[in-house]
């Protein structure tokens, strides 16, 4: 049966739409957009006061399946995605076995179809076993729809190997996605090198360890012509490198996480909070301010979460032994609405670019537009919902968020994937 979403503010910069109107869904697609649509034969849902946008995409998510199902699996991770307002995620390949061949990609796609609550676009490893020395079977994975290749987690250390990856990838319509980390400089670094590493007596993870690899990979993108996407950018100077690459006309994009924008190294107190141990580390307040400016001025293309679930016991231990990463799927939209839109840093149109339009474009996926014929992948936002981030409020198996206790305004109330509700009134639809 057709579904009429009535009276919401529809925002889609792709079609120049920002007005209150009705939206009719039929057979998984947007059938009509307009005022006073005839609802005959359709189920009508009153969306007054809500905002409907093209379905949000998180292009940096660790679903942990196969291999680490105690942390998260495709069922729980995609529920967390739906709960957070997302219609699609790009999963990272550091699974066990590593997502470096068609078999593992096929497994993820099959599981996502069986138990998933959003679309899952697996990324593939650039190198076999993420070891950085042998090319993965990119062509096999490409044939299954993989459009992003990454050695997320530590990056490709050898410059020659990175060049080989980018050269080889140039034959496919894909993007090479780079985790920028020079292990020679980073070593066993735990926190940003500087004030916090000195205060807490731990090895530093210097900004330069990230910036050097950003510079290297931009140079290799120039050399090979292969599109490059920089993951979780965290430093002001790293962002300047991307800014310059874009001005030069290179095919370079980048992403930022809410935690690198809204948390800084100053939050890492003497209680050694392992929830704030992330890679790259939380940087300085100046870096965070530069990232927010980059989101506003267009240098940053996408907001992602780097959703990295871990079990409670893995994080409840010595800081230096705890794994890197925090969850993010269920807090990202609320954080962005509260701290960027609510404070006037960006408007809803820009949010849609950052969280829906650009991720699809970077990942070479069909665009979703609020217009007739487009897939009905939609996120309905309640912009006035006030809520508090709580450890027991997540659909994710994990609660290692750095934002527990934060008071936010705005969240997803409903989500539709191909016209089917995955979230209704804030609850995942089973």
Binding site for another protein (CB under 8 A): 187-188, 193-195, 197-204, 206, 270-272, 313, 316-321
d(CA 121, CA 147): 8
Contacts of 8 (CB under 8 A, 6+ apart): 20, 21, 23, 47, 48, 49, 50, 51, 52, 380
Closer Cβ to another protein, 211 or 382, answer by number: 211
The two tokens of residue 337 are 């609405």
Closer Cβ to another protein, 206 or 410, answer by number: 206
The two tokens of residue 347 are 């408007």
d(CA 3, CA 9): 17
Closer Cβ to another protein, 165 or 276, answer by number: 276
Beta bridge partners of 90: 121
CB of 190 to another protein, least distance (A): 8
3-state secondary structure of 38: coil
Strands 407-417 and 420-424: antiparallel
Closest CA to 175 of 391, 421, 364: 364
CB of 186 to another protein, least distance (A): 12
Contacts of 272 (CB under 8 A, 6+ apart): 200, 319
CB of 174 to another protein, least distance (A): 37
User: What burial letters (b/e) apply to 342-375, b meaning 16+ CB within 10 Å?
Assistant: eeeebebbbbbbbbbbbbbbbbbbeebbbbeebb
Neighbours of 150 (CB within 10 A): 26
Contacts of 362 (CB under 8 A, 6+ apart): 59, 148, 175, 229, 253, 301, 302
Between the two ends of the chain, the Cα-to-Cα distance in Å is 19
CB of 239 to another protein, least distance (A): 21
Beta bridge partners of 20: 9
| Residue 217 backbone dihedrals phi, psi, to 5 degrees | -70, -30
Closer Cβ to another protein, 318 or 392, answer by number: 318
Is 128:134 a contact under the CB 8 Å cutoff?
yes
CB of 323 to another protein, least distance (A): 13
Closer Cβ to another protein, 274 or 374, answer by number: 274
Closer Cβ to another protein, 319 or 387, answer by number: 319
CB of 154 to another protein, least distance (A): 18
CB of 203 to another protein, least distance (A): 8
d(CA 166, CA 320): 34
Closer Cβ to another protein, 15 or 312, answer by number: 312
The two tokens of residue 246 are 């874009």
Is 262:278 a contact under the CB 8 Å cutoff?
no
Strands 29-34 and 17-26: antiparallel
Is 209:192 a contact under the CB 8 Å cutoff?
no
CB of 67 to another protein, least distance (A): 20
Closer Cβ to another protein, 141 or 282, answer by number: 282
Closer Cβ to another protein, 210 or 217, answer by number: 210
Strands (E) in 92-234, as ranges, are 119-122, 148-150, 175-178, 191-192, 204-205, 228-230
Active site residue 306: yes
Selected catalytic residue, list 306, 377, 382, 414: 306
d(CA 167, CA 17): 40
Catalytic residue positions, numbered: 306
């Amino acid at each position: 049966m057709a579904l009429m979403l009535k009276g919401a503010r529809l925002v889609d910069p792709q079609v120049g739409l920002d007005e209150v109107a009705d939206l009719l869904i039929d057979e998984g697609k947007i059938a009509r957009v307009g005022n006073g649509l005839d609802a005959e034969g359709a189920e009508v849902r009153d969306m007054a006061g809500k905002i409907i946008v093209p379905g949000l995409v998180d292009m940096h998510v660790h679903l942990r399946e196969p291999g680490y199902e105690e942390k998260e699996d495709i069922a729980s991770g995609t529920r967390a995605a739906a709960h957070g307002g997302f219609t699609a995620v790009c999963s990272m390949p550091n699974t066990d076995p590593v997502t470096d061949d068609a078999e593992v990609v096929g497994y993820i796609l099959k599981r996502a179809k069986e138990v998933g609550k959003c679309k899952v676009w697996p990324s593939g490893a650039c190198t076999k076993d993420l070891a950085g020395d042998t090319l993965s079977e990119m062509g096999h994975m490409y044939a299954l729809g993989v459009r992003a290749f990454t050695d997320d987690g530590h990056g490709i250390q050898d410059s020659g190997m990175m060049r080989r990856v980018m050269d080889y990838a140039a034959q496919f319509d894909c993007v090479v996605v780079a985790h920028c980390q020079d292990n020679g400089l980073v070593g066993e670094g735990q926190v940003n090198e500087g004030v916090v590493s000195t205060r807490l007596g731990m090895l530093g993870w210097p900004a330069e360890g990230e910036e050097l690899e950003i510079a290297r990979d931009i140079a290799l993108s120039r050399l090979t012509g292969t599109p490059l996407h920089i993951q979780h950018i965290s430093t002001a100077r790293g962002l300047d490198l991307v800014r310059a690459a874009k001005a030069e006309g290179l095919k370079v994009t980048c992403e930022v996480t809410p935690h690198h924008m809204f948390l800084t190294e100053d939050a890492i107190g003497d209680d050694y909070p392992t929830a704030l141990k992330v890679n790259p580390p939380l940087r300085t307040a100046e870096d965070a301010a530069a990232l927010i400016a980059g989101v506003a001025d267009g240098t940053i293309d996408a907001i992602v979460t780097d959703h990295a679930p871990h079990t409670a016991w893995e994080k409840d231990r010595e800081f230096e032994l705890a794994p890197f990463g925090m969850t993010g799927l269920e807090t990202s939209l609320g954080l962005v609405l509260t701290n960027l839109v609510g404070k006037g840093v960006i408007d809803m149109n820009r949010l849609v670019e950052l969280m829906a339009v650009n991720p699809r474009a970077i990942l070479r996926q069909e665009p979703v537009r609020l217009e007739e014929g487009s897939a009905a992948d939609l996120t309905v936002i309640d912009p006035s919902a006030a809520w508090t981030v709580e450890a027991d409020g997540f659909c994710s198996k994990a609660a290692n968020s750095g934002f527990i206790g934060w008071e936010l305004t705005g969240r997803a109330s409903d989500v539709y994937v191909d016209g089917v509700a995955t979230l209704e009134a804030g609850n995942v639809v089973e």
